[in-house]
Amino acid sequence: MDELQVKEPASPLLEPTAVDRFLIARGGPFYELQQRLGLLHENALQTGKRALLAVGLAWGIPLVLSLATGHAWGPVVTRPFLLDPGAWARFLLAVAIFVLMEGMVEERLRGLLRQLVRAPLVAPASMAAGAAAVIRAIDQRDNAVAEAVILVLAVLISVSAAMTHLRAPDASWFIAVDAAGDGDLTLAGWWTVLIGAPLFWFLMLRWLWRHLLWALLLRDLARLDLRLVASHPDGMGGIGFIGKYPNIFSLFVFALSGVVAAALARGLLTGGLSIAVFPKVMGIWLLVVFVLFAVPLTAFMGPLSRLKQATMLACSARATRYQRAVEREMLETNIMAPDPAEAETTQPVPDPAKLYASAVKLQTFPISKAVLLPLGAAALLPLVAAGATQMPFKELLKIAKGLLL
């Protein structure tokens, strides 16, 4: 896939090169809107400035409105804004992370594609198809319809959640309840429904969509003719570096886990969730995270399985010739099915034992437990903090350690 990076005039890898153009956080109407507003420069995402703006819209303005209406502070039972873990988790922590992670994620994902080029792992005959896969992912990233659907979903989820809360109103910074028991949105509540919550859901769904595009790109690349070798020191045929991609999304997982943890903490405090089932909830959430980020790597199981089987069969055949030659050298004949013509063969046969052993040990699923540990820690630490409101912290850490190890 040298064409993905170097120059190959006859190739459809385009200029600028496909790999250099693969920047997962850019493109699409939302990105273009921010450019028009001067929030982005051509070669700079300016994530710090944009994160401050996003947090200001999602968390800062509701705080000001809550202060103005007396809903920012008070007894815990009244759910004031500053004591609501859900507001902190969604509108401050998650929104900030969703923006701040952009530069790191896009550069590290592009680095993985560059390693495919550097190796190179794609056979010359598949270079054009590899380039087409990258270009297709870029086109899907820029798809306006996809972002429009994400925006509609974000608004629908926000409005639906508000309506659910209003059906059984519970006084908080979000909803004011009158003497008759009827609820209405506060000023901060209205702002959150119209701006803050849609922004949170939009940023989250947009990242999930772009992760899906990465997963589809991995699937397309796995279908190419790959130059894998069973004896590669990574134990995964040379594709092991791709298996480290889930950790690139650890910050994203931490943000999602913070939102989940805030909801669980509220459930524990109100009695809606039993502490007895909390360890199971931790396990289920960890499984969801691992499935979300490990499933894309199953695309490489086919090529690695074929590599393993073919190498073992080829080594087995070569080992038979090698060991029979050793046997003849020691015993001057073969014990089973001696063949004079075979005995006259003088061409040396290399010992395939080491290659066979490498093939036996070859992992067909290109991910390791060590790689998953940071992702698992990001998934569980916020839940440990939530559970600590009802369980000893050391006991929760023991549960988390058991789930991870």
How is 98-132 classified by DSSP, letter by letter? HHHTHHHHHHHHHHHHHHHHHTT-B-GGGHHHHHH
Q: Please provide the size of the chain in residues.
A: 405
Identify the DSSP state of 388: T
Give CA 223 to chain center in angstroms: 21
Task: Count CB neighbours of 212 within 10 A.
Answer: 14
Collect all residues with Cβ–Cβ distance below 8 Å to 30 and sequence separation of at least 6. Answer: 147, 202, 206
Q: Where are the alpha helices (DSSP H) in 168-249?
A: 187-191, 197-222
Secondary structure of residue 205 in the 3-state scheme: helix
pLDDT of residue 117: 87
Q: What is the pLDDT of residues 144-161, one digit of tens each?
A: 999 999 999 999 999 999
pLDDT of residue 346: 67
pLDDT of residue 7: 43
Determine what percent of the chain is predicted with pLDDT higher than 90. 69
Q: Is the pTM of this model over 0.85?
A: yes
Task: Assess contact for 254 and 381: CB atoms under 8 A.
Answer: yes
pLDDT of residue 359: 95
pLDDT of residue 325: 85
pLDDT of residue 334: 84
| Of 286, 301, 311, nearest in space to 369 by CA | 286
User: From the DSSP assignment, how many helices (H) and strands (E) are in the chain?
Assistant: 18, 2
Residue type, 237: G
Residue with tokens 């109100």: 270
The two three-digit tokens of residue 83, written as one number: 């004591």
Residues 259, 382: Cα–Cα separation, whole Å: 9
Task: Assess contact for 102 and 27: CB atoms under 8 A.
Answer: no
pLDDT of residue 13: 37
Residues 95, 140: Cα–Cα separation, whole Å: 24
pLDDT of residue 327: 83
Question: Bridge partners of 44?
Answer: 41
Identify the DSSP state of 174: S
Task: Assess contact for 88 and 262: CB atoms under 8 A.
Answer: yes
Low-confidence stretches of the chain (pLDDT < 70) are 1-16, 346
pLDDT of residue 333: 84
The two three-digit tokens of residue 284, written as one number: 């289920």
Task: Count CB neighbours of 20 within 10 A.
Answer: 15
3-state helix, strand, coil in the chain (%, to 5): 70, 0, 25
Secondary structure of residue 228 in the 3-state scheme: coil
